[in-house]
Every structure is written in C-alpha cells, then in structure tokens.
Amino acid sequence: MRNASLRKLTVGTVAAGLLLTGCGTTAEGGSASGGGTQEGPVTGLRVLVPNSPGSGYDTTARALAQVAEEEELAERIEVFNLEGAGGTVGLQRLVNETGNADMLMQMGLGVVGAQYSNQSEATLEQTTPIARLIEEAEAIVVPADSPFQTIDDLVAAWKADPGNTPVGGASNPGGPDHLTPMLLAQEVGVTPTSVNYVAYDGGGELLAGILGGDVAFAATGIGEVTEPAASGDVRILAVTSEEPVEGVDAPTLTESGVDLTFTNWRGIVAAPDITPEEAQRHIDLITQVHDSEAWQQELEDQGWTDSFVTGDEFGSFLDEESQRVQGVLSELGLT
C-alpha cells in the first residue's frame, strides 16, 4: 500500500432488486437535470441504492431524499434498491444509464472494493462524481447472548480457532466490513487469510445473520446497529473511531489496547456522460441539502461525521481510494 499505515487506516466508507419508494414516486414529466435553468424544486430524480433495504447506503439515501423534500428542494424523489455482487449490479445499471441526468447512485467504500473482488466490467471511473457526504465508524458487534463480553474475549477465541469463529459483514472483499476484520486480524495476530469471513448483501441481511447465530461476530457501520444495541438485541464490543461514539456504550479499539482506527465513508455519483451543467445542478442540490439545519440534525441523530466534498475534489478522492484498496488487499495477501 502506498502511503497509508495498516494500523491507522482512514479509507474515508445478480437479479433485479426490490423496488422501494420510501420517499415517493417518480414525478411525471419533470426533469431533475434537464436543459435550462432549474426553477423551483427538482423533479424526476431517482436514487439507486445498490444493496438491500436497511443498509447504510439505504439509510443515507433515504435521509438525503427526505431532507431534500422537507426543505422543498425536490419533489417526489424515488429511492429504489438494486442488490447484488457488493454493489456492482447497481453500478452496472448506472453505467448503462449513460447520459441519464435523472439518476444518481448512493455508494461508498464497499463499491470501491467490490469493483476488484467481483472483477466488475463497470467501474466508478466511468461515473460522474457528485459528492462525498459522510464518514462513519465501524462497530465490532456480537449477538446479545454471545459469550464474548469484551473485545479481549473475542480475540482470544478468534486466535484459538479462526476457522470456527466466523465474522460477518455487509461488504464484499475490499469493502469496509471486510477490511475492518482483516486489519483487526493482522493487528491481534490472526492470519488474515485464515479469517472465515461471511459476506452479506446489506445491513438488513447481516443483522439477521447476527441474530440467527450464523456468525460469531460482525463488523458493520455503527449506524446500522445502534438501534439493535439500544434494544438489547446485540452488544457492541468496540468501535473503530479515534474517539468514542456519542450515545454508544462501547470503547474504541485503541482504548481496548488494539492499535487500529478505521473510517468508512459514503457518497453520491451520477451516470456517465452527463453534461457539466447537469452535474453542477446535482452538486448544487446536494450542497443545499448539506447546508440545511435538517441535514446537520440528521448527522447528529445517525452518528455520522460530516466529510462533504464535491465534484472534481470527490473524483480525485475516488481515484486515491481505488489505489488504496488495491494496495490493502494485495498487502494482506487477499488478491
């Protein structure tokens, strides 16, 4: 890996999917980014979520759409799910929508890694970068009835028998939920190639796997398990941020004696070959959402860290992340 430390890594985060329209249906006759000056709320906008309902991507996209509508910046945004292959089924769909300025895709670090692990023909390099939105800590989580009460308990069992201590995540290889246990394994003395990693297609499926006892523990975005933890269904053993997460009763890994911090991120890309003016209209819309008090409240409620950048700056970040993920996978012996 080029200029990043494995012990302190900040990478920031196939079938037709289930169509959900939690924020309304597509407006008839409107255009999110058509020619001419946009007057009044944006209409006709669709946001593709490339994994399952209940996932971090899904939560972020629906929160973004809800704020845009509440602030009267947009009307009847359609948010829909298209699952598969760590997000690359959705990525292929977006790439196939070349020139369609009415479609955006919610994405993040997981899709960056899935390009490589799934040898995807469609790549993020083909898309139009719009904005990076948030960063989020990962959580190390176990079922409520797990015998592991602390990260030390988990690590002891994991080191003794990694093959029979399966870890789940809502990422394909190269995504945040995969990189987190792999880097944790390296740090605590478990050979990364011996880790029994079970990939789920989204946070909803992962939570079912945790609650069903299909995995001994999981790594996932903190926002996906705060409610199950609060209700007593799961227990968070540690978080991967530098500082404790407000409202979460769990230490950081570093506080637990494990020298590892890690941050996931999420952003928005558009279809290939839209015009600069169309891209700018998307950037303007997302910027207005970002600057609203409602979005700042959403960040606080979800435990997300603001990491807003747009356009070319976000595009450069995506290029750097692609190189970084390739390097991590290679250095861990996973490619």
Domain's final residue, options 202, 237, 256: 256
Q: What is the mean pLDDT of the chain?
A: 88
Looking at residue 155, its pLDDT comes to 98
CB 71 within 8 A of CB 117: no
Domain's final residue, options 256, 285, 315: 256
Residue 104 and residue 113: Cα distance in Å, rounded?
Answer: 19
What the block records as the tokens of 161 is 């028998």
CB 109 within 8 A of CB 173: no
Looking at residue 78, its pLDDT comes to 98
The reply to whether 206 and 164 lie within a common domain is yes
The reply to whether 147 and 245 lie within a common domain is yes
Rounded to an integer, the average pLDDT of 254-283 is 97
Number of domains in the chain: 2
54 within a domain of the structure (yes/no):
yes
The reply to whether 175 and 248 lie within a common domain is yes
The reply to whether 274 and 247 lie within a common domain is no
Domain of 178: which CATH number? 3.40.190.10
11 within a domain of the structure (yes/no):
no
7 within a domain of the structure (yes/no):
no
31 within a domain of the structure (yes/no):
no
Domain's final residue, options 213, 233, 256: 256
> Domain limits at 98?
42-135+264-332
- Tens of pLDDT, residue by residue over 130-187, are 999 999 999 999 999 999 999 999 999 999 999 999 999 998 888 999 999 999 999 9
68 within a domain of the structure (yes/no):
yes
Domain of 92: which CATH number? 3.40.190.150
Q: How confident is the model at residue 106 (pLDDT cuts 50, 70, 90)?
A: very high
- CB count in 10 Å sphere of residue 257: 11
1 within a domain of the structure (yes/no):
no
Residue 235 and residue 231: Cα distance in Å, rounded?
Answer: 10
The reply to whether 88 and 103 lie within a common domain is yes
Looking at residue 188, its pLDDT comes to 97
Which residue, 112, 65, 111, 118, is CA-closest to 90? 111
Rounded to an integer, the average pLDDT of 263-274 is 97
Task: Let me know the angle formed at the C-alpha of 208 by 203 and 214, rounded to the nearest 5 degrees.
Answer: 115
Looking at residue 303, its pLDDT comes to 82
The reply to whether 130 and 273 lie within a common domain is yes
Rounded to an integer, the average pLDDT of 267-277 is 98
36 within a domain of the structure (yes/no):
no
174 within a domain of the structure (yes/no):
yes
Q: How confident is the model at residue 38 (pLDDT cuts 50, 70, 90)?
A: low
Q: What percent of the chain has pLDDT over 90?
A: 75
- Tens of pLDDT, residue by residue over 209-266, are 999 999 999 999 998 899 999 999 999 999 999 999 988 999 999 999 999 999 999 9
CB 262 within 8 A of CB 4: no
Q: How confident is the model at residue 26 (pLDDT cuts 50, 70, 90)?
A: very low
The reply to whether 53 and 130 lie within a common domain is yes
